[in-house]
Amino acid sequence: MNSGEIARMAGVSVRTLRHYHQVGVLPEPVRRANGYREYTVRDLVLLLRIRRLAELGIALDEIPPLLQADGRADAVLDELDRELAAQIERLTARRAVIARLRAAGASPDTPPELAGVLGSGPDLPAEMLQHDREVMMLLHHRLDESGRAALTGLMSQVAEPAVLAATTELTVRFAALAPDAPDEEIDRLVADLQLVLGQLNFDGLEDVDPRTGALLTAYQDAVFNDAQREFLARLNQVPGPPQR
């Protein structure tokens, strides 16, 4: 048999056959006078055994000693079984995350802890929903485990109907700020938002590290206009709970 024939009979590609030769798992047969490899039935049987072991998930470098010593079979199969059990556990966890995101109507890139509060969101301009989601994702990435729990708790507070209605109205006003909005309009918005923020618990989010603060500032500089950035600057100057 030539390489094409043995590959077809074993149900593998010629490329796979050559790879097995390259890594040393399948010895190369003697070449005929015309330069082509000549495979025997024993080569076919060995190739079938290799294919079967590879399909089980056994690493190619584990196959030669396994073929030569039956005493290694139990140890290899035990290790393979442990690896598969770990994979099943990881896949089950991923499916649980997918189910949580689906139930919340959240986008696939939403951190699962925030799925319930960063789903489709309130009736806000799409651009503001995107900005809010991106800021939350940036914070979630930068915070430690306790900080993430605090962030989730804060967003759950914001999701309460009365608070959500107020923050939605304020966010709409923020989105509508023209670049040349008068100081009086900005100050009114700052004061109104401070009243809402005063109802929220920011425990665990008091100290955001300087690098995270710099990243948030850079994000705001990139996406908001002059009046909106001025609003955020004034909001952060007012005594009270920390702002994101």
Q: Do residues 15 and 119 share a domain?
A: no
Same domain, 77 and 183: no
pLDDT tens, residue by residue, 200-226 = 988 888 777 889 989 999 999 999 999
* Same domain (yes/no): 117, 224: yes
Q: Are residues 79 and 116 in the same domain?
A: no
Token duo for residue 199? 């109802």
In a domain, 87, yes or no: yes
Q: Does the predicted TM-score (pTM) go above 0.75?
A: no
Average pLDDT, integer, range 229-240: 81
Do both 61 and 78 map to the same domain? Answer: no
As given in the structure block, the two tokens for residue 161 are 């109907």
My answer on whether 224 and 117 are in the same domain is: yes
What value does the CA radius of gyration of the chain take, rounded to a whole number of Å?
31
Helix (H, G, I), strand (E, B) or coil at 31: strand
The type of residue at 244 is R
Calculate the alpha carbon distances from 190 to 91, 164, 238 in Å. 46, 17, 9
Do both 43 and 12 map to the same domain? Answer: yes
Whether residue 122 is contained in a domain is answered as yes
Mean pLDDT of 20-37: 88
Residue type, 76: V
> What digits encode the pLDDT tens for the residues 70-123?
666 777 788 888 988 999 999 999 999 899 888 888 888 888 888 877 655 556
Domain assignment present for 131 = yes
- Segments forming the whole domain that contains residue 29: 3-68
Same domain, 61 and 95: no
* pLDDT tens, residue by residue, 53-62: 898 888 898 8
The residues, any chain, with a CB within 8 Å of residue 213's CB and separated by 6 or more, are: none
**CA dihedral for 41, 46, 49, 53, sign (positive or negative):** negative
